[in-house]
Amino acid sequence: MHPARVATLVLVGGDGAVAGALPPFEVDTPWWQEVELVVRGARERHGVDVTVLRILASELPRPPGGSVTYLAEVAGPVRAAPWDGALDDHPLRLPWARPGGPARDLAWAGSILAERGLRSAGPGQQIRSWNLSSIWRLPVEGQTVWGRAMWLKAVPPFFGHEGPMLERLQGGPVPTLLAHDGGRLLLADIPGEDLYTASGPALLDMVTLLVNLQRAWIDRSDELLALGLPDWRAPILGRAIASVVERTAGELAPGERAALAGFVAGLDERLAAVAACGVPNTLVHGDFYPGNLRGPANLRGGASPLVLLDWGDCGVGHPLLDQSAFLGRIAPEEVPAVAAHWHRAWRAAAPGSDPDRASRLLEPVGAARGAVCYRAFLDGIEPSEHPYHRDDPAACLRRAAALVAAERP
């Protein structure tokens, strides 16, 4: 159970001038970035149509729940209570977090739909807004080959490779990309549901899908790097891990710092041992877990179609770096069978390799890579958005330290 979320909206016009604030109201979901119900609540409770831009303040140090103050844009004059706060600016503020930014994204998407001969079936529905994405559902008239809705997604510069990567993966088990422009993507609707609770054979199908995708990108690291993907190969990943350990040391307990000091000192040797296991570098999804796959609600394994979502986190490195997030989010009793299937797939893909040993060696590396990624988020977003990720680098490193400690005789 999470504390309830109570939203307060500070309203601005398209020119950024403050129009006042709406009285707070409770939102059914606790997750700060999910704004569809915030928009609906403003309309139903106060008769005001808003576009949520960003968070201004929060009662709790981190999500979910609690009182959250959002900045929201309105198209015209509204009746609102005076607000005596001050708005600032920041160079890392994202385009969709500024007045007029979402409207420009929607205008771009509208132009692409018009080029495809598609007509809108109503206004766009804002679904999410935070430092990692802005997402809108755009209903279209009739039953098209792409479904009855399109999805407008905008991502920050550090995810700017998502559009080019999806373009290269078209025809595979990924979202259908209609167009991309910088950080903007227009995606076709995907039937089914997100498969957070998948189990049994369905999990094995997910792993098979990923390994098949990764096999196609073996010996093509230069192509991936040219698309803008981050480099998580040795020794670059080793240096990034050493840096995030140093920057996060003050948040860790003495025993954790000691374990991580030994881990960092032995990283070159460890990564060399991983390379000797013979599983080659390739495409890494970066956030591979059941909830980032979509398919039929009755998915049971076999021929059911699967689509792998959210390619902003992808990079270049050892493919078993994708194991930690996936195995950590399925039922513990499923882990042995899924891991064994995963390793069989890589023994088939790289004959003579030892994915079992590579996986064991990579366990703390995978956790530490998570800290590297979260640190990059924090370095690339404005301070008001830090509560979303502030604790994550330390949490990942605590996990890495525990895994290192468990390796000792």
Q: Write out pLDDT tens, residues 314-333.
A: 999 999 999 999 999 999 99
Amino acid letter, residue 286: G
d(CA 353, CA 121): 53
Token pair in block for residue 134: 């802005």
pLDDT score recorded for residue 114: 93
Token pair in block for residue 178: 């209609």
pLDDT above 80: residue 165 = yes
The residue count for the chain: 409
pLDDT above 70: residue 303 = no
pLDDT above 90: residue 301 = no
pLDDT above 70: residue 83 = yes
Give the three-class secondary structure for 37.
helix
CB count, 10 Å around CB of 6?
A: 15
Portion of the chain with pLDDT greater than 70, in percent = 97
Distance linking the first and last C-alpha atoms of the chain: 39
Token pair in block for residue 136: 């809108």
Q: Read off the pLDDT of each residue in 244-254 and give the average, rounded to a whole number.
A: 98
How wide is the angle at C-alpha 28 spanned by C-alphas 377 and 73, nearest 5°? 60
pLDDT score recorded for residue 142: 73
d(CA 371, CA 365): 10
Bridge partners of residue 66, in order along the sequence: 5
Contact present, 337 and 327 (Cβ < 8 Å): no
DSSP state of 22: P
Q: What is the mean pLDDT of the chain?
A: 95
Q: Write out pLDDT tens, residues 91-129.
A: 999 999 999 999 999 999 999 999 999 988 899 999 999
Amino acid letter, residue 327: L
pLDDT above 70: residue 365 = yes
What topology is assigned to 97-189 in CATH? Answer: Phosphorylase Kinase; domain 1 (3.30.200)
Taking the domains of the chain in order of start, what are their residue ranges? Answer: 5-87, 97-189, 194-407
Q: Write out pLDDT tens, residues 183-232.
A: 999 999 998 899 999 999 999 999 999 999 999 999 999 999 999 999 99
Q: Which helix (H) or strand (E) holds 67?
A: strand 66-73
Residue with the two structure tokens 């050493």: 242
Contact present, 265 and 246 (Cβ < 8 Å): no
CA atoms within 13 A on the CB side of 311: 29
pLDDT score recorded for residue 300: 60
Q: Read off the pLDDT of each residue in 247-263 and give the average, rounded to a whole number.
A: 98
Portion of the chain with pLDDT greater than 90, in percent = 92
Give the three-class secondary structure for 154.
strand
Q: Which CATH class is domain 194-407?
A: alpha beta
pLDDT score recorded for residue 299: 64
Q: Write out pLDDT tens, residues 55-80.
A: 999 999 999 999 999 999 999 889 99
pLDDT score recorded for residue 2: 86
pLDDT score recorded for residue 19: 95
- pTM of this structure: 0.94
In this predicted model, which residue has the larger pLDDT, 222 or 144?
A: 222
Band (pLDDT 50/70/90 cuts) for residue 145 is low
pLDDT above 70: residue 409 = no
Contact present, 27 and 6 (Cβ < 8 Å): yes
**Which residue, 12, 20, 404, is CA-closest to 245?**
404
pLDDT score recorded for residue 148: 83
